[in-house]
Structure formats: C-alpha cells, structure tokens
Structure 1
C-alpha cells in the first residue's frame, strides 16, 4: 500500500465527508455563475437572452469535454498513487496537462472557424448571429485556459485534494461575480461589452483559477514540469487518459441532450409547461448539488483504493455513498414535494406556470435518489477504468427509457408524461448503476482474495 495515497488509510466515512463537503461548495459556486450571467445578460434585452439560449448547448458540450479530461487525469493519477508509483503518477499528470492544452488549441481553432455554419444549422437568425459570435469568438480563443484549469483540477482531485479543488472553483466563481456587472452592463462611464463581457469574465476567471491551481499543486507531491513527460510512453498515456476521458465526456453530455429533447416535447403543451419545467429545473439543479459533489469526490477514494488492491475499502466507500444518495434523495424529495407551490412563487406569479412547476416537482423528485446512485456510480466506474460501462448506462437511461417513455405517453398524459419519464429514467438508471458498480467491485475483491490465497 502506498504511503502517498492518503485515501487508502483511515476511515472511509471520514474520507467521504472531508472529500465531499468541499466539492459541494465548489459545485454550488460554479452553478451560481450561470445565474449571475443570466441576470446581467437579461438586462441587455430579449435578443441577447435568445443568443444565450443558442450558446448554452455548445458551451455545455465543451464543458463536458473538459470534465472528461479532468476525470481521465483524476483516474490515472489516483490509481498510480494507490499502486505506490509516484513517478508514473507525476508523468501522467504532466502528460494530461499538455494533452489538454493541445486538444483545446485544436478544438478552439476549429470552433472559431466554424461558428457561422454551426449556428446556421441550429437555425439562429441573421439578427441574433452577431450576438452569438460576439460571445463565442473570445470563448473559442480562451478554450486553452478552460481546459488547462480543468486538467490542473484533475491533478489535484487524483491526489484527494478536494479542499483545494473547491478553492479553485470558488476563485473562478468569485471572479465572475465581480466582473459580470462591469464587463457586461458596465459601470460609471464604461458601457461594458454586452454579451461578449460574459465570455471575457469567464476567461479571466479561468485564468485566475489556473494561477491558484498551480500554486496549490506546487505544495503537493506531484510537480507540474512538462519536461517530465520525456520519460512517458506517449501512446500508453494517451490511451489510458482517453479511455476514461472520451466516455466520461459523452456521459456528461448525454443528460443535457435528453433534457433538450424533453423541452422540445413539452413545447407542444404550451409555454406554461416549458416555463414551469425550466424554472423547476433550475431549482432541481441546486437541490442535487450534494449528489453532484459526491459524484466528484468518489473517484479519488475509489481510484486510490482500487490501485492499492483494497477493493474491500472501495466497496465500503460505495456502500456508504449509496446510502447517502438514497437518504438525501428521499429527504429533499419530501421537502420539495411539500413546498412546491412556495418555491414556485419565487420564480413566477403566473398560476399556470406555478401549476406546472408544482406538478413537475410532485412527480420527478422521487427519482433524485436514483439519479444520485447513477452519477456516483459513474464516478466510481470512471475511477476504476470502466468508463465505457458508465457511458453505456447513461445512454440507456436517456435513450432507452426517458425519451421513449415521454414520446409514447405524451399524447395521453400530456406534460405529466415528460415529468414521469424523468422519474422512471432516474429510478431505472440508479438501479442499473448500483448493480453494475457492485458487480465490478465484487469481481475485483474476489480476484484479490484468490491471489492472496495462492500466495
């Protein structure tokens, strides 16, 4: 067992708490940026808000790519540390950072050149396209900073440095809180940059977060020095990271795709249904922050113990994480179910929207526990180099359960079909993830026990 892999020692429950709480704070901080952006862009006018609606799915897809890279780096580092191979962990860390930068330069350049045809395919009007380009051009050029920040966060995550990862997220968020009103709408005699100001604020925020991340990494056991990749097997390292990063990126992108299709299906039920669904979705995004935080922290715990051949500890971590998902998921469901109308009043005074908002919560909240089991299970599978399993179950949840259910029943159930589709998908997805993860960890445990008996 490696003395450098701190999560292979001590209380599993203690590690879950100390790794997850900072992640929860970091996730909440990042999610707040979207609300701040929307508030100040909304002051510019309806056209600017429409432009953001076109931009959102693209930026979500690119962020999912960054998350995939971060998860891949986290996975290879945590397992190498668990095996006691600090030098390999350091080589993989540096290779991952350089890989992320090169990928970002390529993708950012391609995005910059393809903005017109891309948003033309999305049916953006000629009036809105200049606003879209005003945001997306600096965003595309700033992609290296985005992926650099995420890759550095992956280096820290793999070492179990959850508090430092949270501090990086908070740095990015605070920068946006302070810069948005200045760069978007302007202050005093400065008129601001409009929609482009939101992109500038994000890029500056990512840049500051990179500085903080590099400072933190300097005080850990792994050093960021690109020269260290000279002794790295490029093909092997690329394969190890991409084997996790690719499926993880797609897994993160699948849910927004599914929700986009559900929104399109709801459009036939009227604006009130779409508005209620969207407003309740924003509330839901904050309600599941603890589950998202746990899904981000579980990887380092599982990965280090997996690498150290401590499958018993990995199973125990997943057991307690699963109990939290069920307990928290059901508890928050009761709260939202009981106070649905009260929460709706914060978003709107329209009685039709309030009714749809409350009905969505009354149905969908009972699937939060299953959703937690799914995303935490995906985090565990990514950590043990089973990212393809995570991708498969995420895809099955959306494309084999959620969308067919909503499509087939929307004629008779109206908007309730969409709300119920999300509920059923989360329950099925959570159950499937639990079975798959438990089987994977049990197989490792049995293999380890057999090898120990032979010795």
Structure 2
C-alpha cells in the first residue's frame, strides 16, 4: 500500500461520503480527523512564533504572551460571522438548495470582510491601552503593541482564512482547509526568522517581524481560499454578483452569529479573569496552571474537532428535515468523546508528574502541575459530552443556547467556585481556604456541570424546531423577522 492509499484511508473528500444518508460514524470521523490536523497545524503556527522569538529575546517572548490573548479576543468578537456562515451553508446543502448555499457563502464573505476591517481599525488604536491594563511591563508593552498593530492591520486576511475554513466545513469539506493551512504553516515557519532576525536582505524587525510573517502567510491562504471558492470546483462556491452586501440578509447572520460571538468572547474573558485569580498565588502556581492549560489545549483537540463535525452534520440533516439523524450523530459523538477523553484522563492521572516534567525542571512547579492534572483529568470526558451537544445546538442554529451553556459553565460556575474556594476572604465566604486546590476543583466541578446541563437541555428537544433553511425565528426571535428567504436570488 502506497502513501497515497494510506492517506486516502484516513482522509476522504466530501464526494466520498454522505452526511444525510447511511452510516453516521464514518462521515463524522472523516469530517473530524482533518479538523484535528488543522488544529494541530494551528498549534504549530503559534509554536513557530514562540520558538523564534524565544531565541530573539526574553522581552519578545513575553510580548507575544500578552499579545496572543488579545488576538483571541479580536477573533472571538467576530467569530459569529464564521459560525453563521457555516450553519447556513450546511442547512442549505442538506436541503439541496445550491443557489441559496452559494448566496449564503457569498454574503458571509462580504460581511466578514466588513467586520474584520472594523475590528482591525478599532484594535489598532486601542491595543496599547488594553495591553497596559493586562499588566505588560514598560519593556514589554511597546513590543506587544507593535505586534498587535501589525496583526490588526492585516486582520482581514487572518479572519478571511477562518471564514473560508468555516464555509468549506459547512459544505462538508474539511480536507481542503487542512491542506491550505499546511501551506500557511510552512510559509510562516520559513519566513519567520528572516523577518525577526534580519537574515539575508531583510531588515531586523523583531516581534513585528513575526507579525508580518503571520499576516503574509495568512494573506496567501486567504487568496488561495477565495480562489478555490470562486472556482467552485471544491466545496461551496461564491459569486461576486452575490457578494453585494444585503442588509436584510445580514439580519439572519446577526441573529445566528451574535450569540456565537458572545460565547467566544465569554471564553476569552473567562481565561483572562481566571488568570487574575491564579495571579493571587505564588509564581509556582501560575507556572503550573500555565502548563496544565497547555496540556488541555492538546488533549481537547479531538473534542473541538468532533464538535465542528457534529455542527456540520446537524446543519445538513436539519436542512434535509432529518432531526432524528442529527440527534443520533450528537449522541454518538458524546459517547465516543466521553470514552476517548475519559481514557486520556486515566493516562494523565497516572503520568501527571512525567507530563509536567516535560515542560519544567522546577520540582515545585512539577508538583503543582501534577496536582492540577490529577484533580481535573477525571472530568476530561465531560468536556467531550458538552462539546458534542453544543456543536449540535450551533448546527441547528440555536447559537444562543450554546452560548448560554458556555457562559453558565465558565462565568456562573467555574469563576465563582474558584474564587470562593481558593480565596473565600475576597469572596466574603465564612469557610476555610483550600488554596490553589480550590482553583483545580472549580475546573472539575464546572466540567461535569457543563456536560450535565448540555445533555439535559438537549433532551428537551427545543433545537428540533429549527427551520431547515434557518428561515424561522432563532432562539425565540419574533416571527415577523424570518430572515427573508426571498432575498436570496437564484441563478438563471
């Protein structure tokens, strides 16, 4: 068996499986595996910047440590457009409405460009003040600000690539975005040192050089992605004629997308607020927490990928008027992720100290990290359950429900429990402090609670009233605002 045959066993194109007919497990697998690889490539993208800047200077490394959360926040504010586009395309494809899917994709691209230009302009002027509020030191603040201003200037290219990925995923093609992502990673890794250190004919740009490398590689990916969709030979197609902004259609995108932006922004803010609580403890606790979070980011990649796969399968099956098949896909994903992540949790418990030792040689930090992992690892499986069901909610257009579950888990449960158990004196509670262990317990409690809430909410079946084309009210919207399907022109 050759390499090509081996790859074809793992990666199959949209034309090789059907999302609305036949087996459920196989198409879900073929949708999810390329997303896992794409996410790993995104991790490699960030690691490349970290590697080269770490060799440049400590201040440069600290600068991107402050900048990355800011980038995440900007994307979170605009991610609703990508989610709305993916959901609408999936529902129209499932309903065999090619013209409507084409129009939805074209409109999504237009509004994504508008939103990213606005966010980029705002970000350019306010990042300095925000980084100062986050506590960047005088030595680091100018470097982080330079990095973020370059990123803000080219945000349209970065955001455009994510829109391309989301639209192709809605169609059912996750391989093409993976291949384009591979191209950007290679380009970024190659040109990073030239722009950072000033190799060959290039000037030494330091931290800003890493930002320019990112923008250049993502601009290349954006151009390739747009060319693929304009040709329409792979995945969803867009048309310049359909890209003229339609404010009536924008109401549909806003109703589906705003809750998704709230969810993403809530996650971003919760990460930063948790850092405030962790920062009340010694440096060893902060370091151990940082390592633990990085371990999670790798372990949860399958759950994130499967959730995206469930989102697409739900959207297409809702579009095909097969809600029972969508429910079966969500249930299968939840059970599978609970088993896989549960197994990874057992491995993590048994190997907590060796895992921590990979990242640090400080015995005190190893101890803190191992303690963190042992408390949280038993609940890894619950994250998989929650992700599977919230992905199905999004695919059905119930993005407000998914956002409510996420905000409840992180803001209503995790943060208050962490503060109350770790620093009850600040929370005003008459109970003894558990120290940093209280923070670890908050992760375990919120993970389990999030899964239970998502499962019970899904069992209510309220997601089933989603219209196949996303034309009826979304999460309780008034009936007279049915997103005006008549606004979608058809080809002659």
Matched, 1:193 2:193: no
Counterpart for residue 31 of structure 2: 19
**Following the alignment from structure 2 to structure 1, what is the Cα–Cα distance between the partners of residues 29 and 136?**
45
Matched, 1:69 2:81: yes
**Following the alignment from structure 1 to structure 2, what is the Cα–Cα distance between the partners of residues 236 and 376?**
32
Counterpart for residue 225 of structure 1: 239
**Following the alignment from structure 2 to structure 1, what is the Cα–Cα distance between the partners of residues 136 and 412?**
30
CA distance 1:67–1:28, shift in 2 (3 Å): farther
More helix by share: 1
Of the candidates 154, 161, 180, which is equivalent to residue 173 of structure 2?
161
CA distance 1:4–1:330, shift in 2 (3 Å): closer
1:69–1:150 contact (8 Å) kept in structure 2: no
1:315–1:442 contact (8 Å) kept in structure 2: no
CA positional deviation for 1:207:
1.5
Matched, 1:296 2:308: yes
Moved more, 436-445 or 126-135: 436-445
Of the candidates 144, 151, 168, which is equivalent to residue 156 of structure 2?
144
1:164–1:216 contact (8 Å) kept in structure 2: no
CA positional deviation for 1:270:
0.7
Counterpart for residue 415 of structure 1: 436
Of the candidates 341, 365, 374, which is equivalent to residue 353 of structure 1?
365
CA positional deviation for 1:123:
4.3
Matched, 1:112 2:118: no
Task: Please list every run of 5 or more consecutive structure 2 residues that lacks an aligned counterpart in the other structure.
Answer: 1-14, 424-432, 469-492
1:74–1:300 contact (8 Å) kept in structure 2: yes
**Following the alignment from structure 1 to structure 2, what is the Cα–Cα distance between the partners of residues 443 and 100?**
28
Of the candidates 329, 341, 356, which is equivalent to residue 344 of structure 1?
356
CA positional deviation for 1:172:
2.4
Of the candidates 300, 317, 329, which is equivalent to residue 329 of structure 2?
317
Q: How well do the aligned residues superpose, as a CA RMSD in angstroms?
A: 2.3
**Following the alignment from structure 1 to structure 2, what is the Cα–Cα distance between the partners of residues 334 and 440?**
33
CA positional deviation for 1:131:
1.0
Matched, 1:305 2:311: no
**Following the alignment from structure 2 to structure 1, what is the Cα–Cα distance between the partners of residues 281 and 47?**
26
- Secondary structure at the aligned position of 1:396 is classed as helix
CA positional deviation for 1:442:
7.4
Matched, 1:257 2:278: no
CA distance 1:161–1:373, shift in 2 (3 Å): same
CA distance 1:339–1:221, shift in 2 (3 Å): closer
Moved more, 165-174 or 305-314: 165-174
Moved more, 177-186 or 145-154: 177-186
Moved more, 76-85 or 16-25: 76-85
| Bigger relative CO (Cα 8 Å, ≥ 6 apart) | 1
- Secondary structure at the aligned position of 2:56 is classed as coil
Task: Please list every run of 5 or more consecutive structure 1 residues that lacks an aligned counterpart in the other structure.
Answer: 448-455
Relative to the length of structure 1, the TM-score reads 0.91
Relative to the length of structure 2, the TM-score reads 0.85
Counterpart for residue 457 of structure 2: 436
CA positional deviation for 1:190:
4.9
Moved more, 74-83 or 202-211: 202-211
